[in-house]
Amino acid sequence: MEKMDTAGFSGFWKITVWDQEGLQGKKQEFTSGCHNVFESGIESVRSMRVESGAWVGYEHSGYQGQQFILEKGDYPRWDAWSGNIAYHTERLMSFRPIQCANHQESKMSIFERENFLGRTCDLCDDFPALQSMGWCNSEVGSMKVQSGAWVCYQYPGYRGYQYIMECDRHTGEYRHYREFGSHAQTSQVQSIRRVQQ
């Protein structure tokens, strides 16, 4: 289990989950992270409503497997949270709140190669197509998050595998694509955006 920085989290974050699609079936509310939904009496999560705050959902318990950013709104089916079709994740097994920065204060750096080497670029805005702003290839070797939380995506337009990057985790340092997430298989990253509270 990863370290949870939940100090000051309670009272703001709220998510309602159901064990069936369409916001139906057995229902439960959470105001903090859930390491394993099964232990909370739900076999798996198949739909949800984020009431407040930003969350990240995981394919497996213990905050493992594919990651899915969850912002305020309704997620009636798995295709609402997943942009990855090659590898389906129809149910979530764990989820936790994310600490964001003020939208204008989010900042991160991307590097061409692992261990913060090669060409670099500072980001403080959303980039649906990294190559449009002059990034020369379809890969990012390593990243440092100075402020806030970000989502990186495999494909342009916020599609494909998602990697949630936070300044509160890994001390904001992601030195190799294997640190992007337990599901990362390549360093392909073609769009990046800030997480909105």
Helices first, then strands: H and E counts in the chain: 0, 14
Cβ-based nearer residue to a second copy, 169 or 194: 194
Q: Which of 159, 175, 179, 182 binds a second copy (CB under 8 A)?
A: 159
Both tokens of 184, joined, read 């990362």
Which residues inside 26-85 make contact with a second copy, applying CB under 8 A? 50, 69-75, 77-85
For 185, residues 6+ apart whose C-beta sits below 8 A from its C-beta are: 161, 177
Q: What gap in Å lies between CA 158 and CA 101, rounded to an integer?
A: 20
Q: Which of 65, 97, 160, 172 binds a second copy (CB under 8 A)?
A: 160
Stretch that binds a second copy, among 22-30, 32-40, 120-128, 164-172 (CB under 8 A): 120-128
Q: Which of 10, 24, 115, 131 binds a second copy (CB under 8 A)?
A: 131
**Per-residue CA distances from 3 to 35, 56, 132, 163 (Å):** 11, 14, 36, 17
Would you tell me which residues interact with a second copy (CB under 8 A)? 50, 69-75, 77-86, 126-132, 138, 151, 154-160, 190-191, 193, 195-197
